[in-house]
Chain A
Amino acid sequence: AQTVTQSQPEMSVQEAETVTLSCTYDTSESDYYLFWYKQPPSRQMILVIRQEAYKQQNATENRFSVNFQKAAKSFSLKISDSQLGDAAMYFCAYRSPAGDDKLIFGTGTRLQVFP
């Protein structure tokens, strides 16, 4: 069975600085999808960024980018120029290509942003 591990329960960063959140996963599949979701305090969870395993190029979305290391089964999220609004729980998630659209989530990392 696939598992997703986020080893950093909490992280903090100063405004305008860069922070990297770690995620590792375990799978025997060769093709799959990885996601980072953000859950702001008292607000709905939203998708931040996604990566297809067959793509070697790392995904980017504005200030958010990933470092996808397929052989190491690592999928870290880099937030550049951190803003106060980035403060949230961040969840890494894995989706199998099996087509059932189920996501397996990590335990989350709480990011604090200090002015």
Chain B
Amino acid sequence: DVKVTQSSRYLVKRTGEKVFLECVQDMDHENMFWYRQDPGLGLRLIYFSYDVKMKEKGDIPEGYSVSREKKERFSLILESASTNQTSMYLCASSLNTDPQWTQYFGPGTRLLVL
């Protein structure tokens, strides 16, 4: 079974702090994604990556950056956390050759910025 793990389930940070959210997948997937989930807005794509050291902006990249130094790890960085970044963050991964085009999700990190 594919396993996608995220470093924290719950996180509380102060405004202005630099925040790192880590995501690791164990199935050698090429593609990795970061979403944020907000009530009434569904999931919105922040950034995604097709390969090591590659990154593409999603629909809401402002205030975020990402890093993918190793294939299995995709980090989301909040350079200076703000209260409007309080949200649930979901990481996902997928395999290029998967005929099902399935994305596998991590358990999510619920971030509160005070």
Please give the residue numbers on chain A whose beta carbons come within 8 Å of chain B beta carbons, in ascending order. 4, 6, 9, 33, 35, 37, 43-47, 50, 91, 95, 100-103, 105-108
Contacts and interface: CB of A to CB of B under 8 A. Distances in A.
A21 B41 CA distance: 17
Interface of B: 4, 31, 33, 35, 40-45, 48, 50, 56, 58, 90, 92, 94, 96, 100-103, 105-108
15 contacts: A6-B42, A44-B4, A44-B106, A44-B108, A46-B105, A47-B103, A50-B100, A50-B101, A91-B42, A101-B31, A101-B48, A101-B94, A102-B58, A103-B43, A107-B41
A33 B101 contact: yes
A105 B56 CA distance: 18
Contacts of B108: 44
Nearest to B43: A105
Give the 10 A-B CB pairs with smallest separation, nearest first.
A45-B105, A107-B42, A105-B43, A105-B42, A47-B102, A44-B107, A101-B31, A44-B105, A108-B42, A101-B94
A100 B96 CA distance: 9
Contacts of B31: 101
Contacts of A91: 42-43
A10 B40 CA distance: 11
A47 B105 CA distance: 9
